[in-house]
Structures are given as C-alpha cells and as structure tokens.
Amino acid sequence: MTAPVQQPGPASLQATPMVNSDHPAVVAFAREHAQGTTDRERAVALYYAVRDGFRYDPYSLDLTPKGMQASTVLETGLGWCVPKATLLTAVCRAAGIPARLGYADVRNHLSTERMRQSMQTDVFVWHGFSDIWLDGAWRKATPAFNLSLCEKFGFLPLEFNGVDDSIYHPFDRSGQRHMEYLRQHGSFDDVPLEPMIADFAKYYPGMGHLSSALQSADFDADVSREVNPGTTPRG
C-alpha cells in the first residue's frame, strides 16, 4: 500500500535563518528568473538559473550559518551542493512555490585527489538537493553541477522538467561510475546545521585541515589536472 503524500505545510513557504527567502537579493533573483505561467514552468526556470548561474565549488566549504545561507551564494557566485540547494529552495519559496531541503549520503566517484586525501574517503555525507511541490507531488531537484563544469569534465548534466526527479546519474558519459546513493536523511524546512557539523566531525576527523586545505586550492584546476594529465595544478 502506497503511503499518503505529505502535503506542504506553511513552513515550506516561510523564510528561515538559512533558507532566507525574504532576503532582498533572493526576492529579486526569484522575481527575475521565475518565468512561466505555471508553478512547474517557474520552478524549472529557477532550477536552471541556480544550476548554471553559480559555479559548483566543493572547496568553498563554510559550515557557519552565514556560509550556509541562500543569500551567500548570490553574494559569492559559487557554492557546493548544500548551499546551491538552499538557494534553489529559497527562490522557490520567494516565488510562492512550496519547497524544502533533502539530504543523502552519497559515494562521489568524481572527487579530486586533494579531496580524497583530505577526507580519507569518497563518501560525502549530507549531500543536498531541493524538494519542490509541483502538481500534487514533491519533485527532487539537484542544481549542484553547472553546465559549463559538466561539459568541461564529461559529466552528464542533470536536467529538471518539473515532473521527474532530478538526481545524480550512476554513470558518467564514458560509462565510469559517477554517483551512488547510500542513505537518505529525509526532508527539512531549514538546513540542519548541528547534525551536519556533527557528522562532518565524525566522518572527516581532520575537518579543520580539510577546510584550509581545500579553500586555499582551485577546484577547477585540480579536476583539469586529473582529467587532462600533464597540466600544472594551481593551489
């Protein structure tokens, strides 16, 4: 027997400390990019605006409340999966479309050697995505990898049509393993920062070194070096 669909509550439209959908920059972004006549069309437009308008950079890890705010992605022009999902959730709410946050632990087969050495694993805990209420159902949308990054490094870009879930592909264009989902954490109205920080400390015991080692490096240069051996890394 299929479980009943959880209807969106008032919280799925409200601003929170990190899903700060009432921030003027977030409101302005939603107003500019939420194009279309239906919620589905507007959500799809917002998805692509967030996916491609902000560079994916997992080296920009900042687990402070400010670092995790939706508005911070607008300020910096980049983010990793969690802040980019937070931004998509926020602009959907600002456009009047119910949205919440979802998280899963994944095995990311596209991490760089610098990340693997710093983290001592290719498992990423609390990978973030958005859950958007469209046409009577929650649709998963993952805006992490911008199109230019996918084209440069041979990733399959994640599309979103507002009907099907947009989640990572198990294989890349060359048939190599890409992403494996290991555990779902469920859905949240705001970023669950405390359990996220606790799990980062548990699974990545060198967290302080991890942050400094990554933030002083260049993600694009590291991936370029690994995809095209012989290039000189920066950072």
Ordered by where they begin, the domains of the chain are 10-227 (3.10.620)
Position with higher pLDDT, 76 vs 157 = 76
pLDDT, one tens digit per residue, over 122-168 is 889 999 999 999 999 999 999 999 998 888 777 788 999 999 999 87
Position with higher pLDDT, 177 vs 155 = 155
What is the pLDDT, as a whole number, of residue 178?
A: 66
Global model pTM greater than 0.95:
no
Q: What is the 3-state secondary structure (H, E, C) of the chain?
A: CCCCCCCCCHHHHCCCCCCCCCCHHHHHHHHHHCCCCCHHHHHHHHHHHHHHHCEECHHHCCCCCCCCCHHHHHHHCEECHHHHHHHHHHHHHHCCCCEEEEEEEEEECCCCHHHHHHHCCCEEEEEEEEEEEECCEEEEECCCCCHHHHHHHCCCCCCCCCCCCCCCCCECCCCCECEEEEEEEEEECCCCHHHHHHHHHHHCCCHHHHHHHHHCCCHHHHHHHHHCCCCCCCC
What is the pLDDT, as a whole number, of residue 98?
A: 98
Above 70 in pLDDT, residue 210?
A: no
235: confidence class by pLDDT, cuts 50, 70, 90: very low
pLDDT, one tens digit per residue, over 12-54 is 999 999 999 999 999 999 999 999 999 999 999 999 999 999 9
Kindly state the percentage of the chain with pLDDT values over 70. Answer: 88
